Amino acid sequence: MPSWTIPWQRGPLEVALPDDLTHVIRRPELPTLGTPLDLVERALASPIGCPPLEEQVRPGDRVALLVTDNQDRTLGQEGVGQYLLDRLNRAGVPDRNVTLIHAAGMHGHARARQKLGDSLLARVKYVEHDPIDPRENRYLGVTRLGTPVWVNRHVADADFVMGVGGCTPSLYGFQGGAGIICPGVSARDTIRQNHARIMSTRTSATWALGNPMREDVMDVGDLARLQLKIDFAGNTVFAGYFRQEWPVAVDYVQRNVMTPVEPADLYVFAPGRQSSLQAMYMQIEFAEIATREGGAVIAVIGASDHRPLSARPLAETLREFEYVTEQWCKSTDEPGPVDAYWHARDAVCKTELLAYPLEEISRVVTRMLGEPRSTTHVWSHRRCIERRHTILVSEGVPPADGLRMGFRAVTDSFEEALRQALEVVGSSPRIIASMPPDNGTPFVAAHS
């Protein structure tokens, strides 16, 4: 019988599921195919959909080299950044013509300088993207879906734009490709317009080609003239023109990092971080995708940090969303108590908004109220909770609060949650379980 012990503040919670009915999905252990530098060299030797770097850049070009907040340590500490600069030098682009831009969207830049390292930063001009200050962003036009596009002025002024990032599942589909432009180096208003496109009849998480948000992102990438993208994907790297490189990277992640499944009758998950209800991020989306219509989901989230829902007006919650985002967008130093406080407040605001009906949350997103970087998360969570018979197992969330958030039931007993779920799906259901410490990510081919 598959069983797990979940660390709760009050004491361990035991979770057990029937052997013959349960498919446990786990994060795979992939073989090492080389150092990060080895992988980048190989990818650049055979770029997808574009000429080699040296045939694209011209002597004397002004180059914008972008890096995401997920790959900044790799660029700075694994020799990748130095290698790219050396190749640009050989192509006739001196270090003084290169601007390195930390493309973190609206995530802030905590520890970025430390991760990139002094030796790399000493060679180039370094910029941390500011999505809020209009003076730091230039208008480039609109996408086919009507999103107005402002991007970092150093990107807009460059002769050649290239980036280093990674392809992984995300709430909005998959990271990678032109995501380094939007949200990476886009202005707040552009990010808001794009993120609001999460409202769809399909769950955006792990939805790749055809996803309206991604189609919009790729249009932004072309407007910003992103010519070469390097994406770490699982245990390998792909490079090329993003419209052709990114789908290859996505396919690799689907086949090698995710676990192919057919939608189950019952999906059980527990995030590795148990203290906050917002640890459901993406896990609740995976659950909805990998469960049949009419099926059930059991979410095991201790949420010991939960406090009774506030009675403050929604307008106050929405104003705090904006303030919180502005605070961490300014963050550049080592994260400390102030940074942790604002991230905790963002989680509180999300939980408060989650307690509103989906209709009201939809109105918030449509009107661009609060901060869509966060409010769109809540819209997706609430929609997924409601689309399945979702039961919350928690030590910190009172049943009354959980019911307001759309859960069908709240209990502190896994056995009771399983009993209730079996009443919905029958006594011999097909069960998928994704549990710590090696939670797997389901891949449903029909959803991709």
Domain ranges of the chain: 3-27+259-447, 36-256
Contacts (Cβ under 8 Å, ≥6 apart) of 211: 172, 173, 204
Phi first, then psi: what are they for 400, rounded to 5°? -60, -40
Q: Are 360 and 182 in contact (CB under 8 A)?
A: no
In terms of pTM, does the model score above 0.75? yes
In this prediction, residue 334 carries a pLDDT of 64
Q: Are 87 and 57 in contact (CB under 8 A)?
A: no
Q: Which residues of 13-46 are buried (b: 16+ CB within 10 A; e: fewer)?
A: bebebeeeebbbbeeeeeeeeeebbebbbebbee
In this prediction, residue 250 carries a pLDDT of 98
- CATH number, span 36-256: 3.40.50.11440
Evaluated on CA atoms 162, 56, 225, 203, the torsion sign reads negative
In this prediction, residue 342 carries a pLDDT of 85
| Domain 3-27+259-447 matches domain 36-256 at the CATH topology level | no
Task: Specify the CATH class of 3-27+259-447 in words.
Answer: alpha beta
In this prediction, residue 319 carries a pLDDT of 96
- The DSSP H or E segment spanning 107 is none
In this prediction, residue 62 carries a pLDDT of 99
Strands 137-142 and 148-152: antiparallel
Identify the residue whose tokens are 């009507």. Answer: 146
For 200, the token pair is: 């769809």
Per-residue pLDDT of the chain (448 residues; tens, 9 = 90+): 799 999 999 999 999 999 999 999 999 999 999 999 999 999 999 999 999 999 999 999 999 999 999 999 999 999 999 999 999 999 999 999 999 999 999 988 888 999 999 999 999 999 999 999 999 999 999 999 999 999 999 999 999 999 999 999 999 999 999 999 999 999 999 999 999 999 999 999 999 999 999 999 999 999 999 999 999 999 999 999 999 999 999 999 999 999 999 999 999 999 999 999 999 999 999 999 999 999 999 999 999 999 999 999 999 999 999 999 888 887 666 666 777 888 889 999 999 999 999 999 999 999 999 998 899 999 999 999 999 999 999 999 999 999 999 999 999 999 999 999 999 999 999 999 999 999 999 999 888 7
In this prediction, residue 373 carries a pLDDT of 86
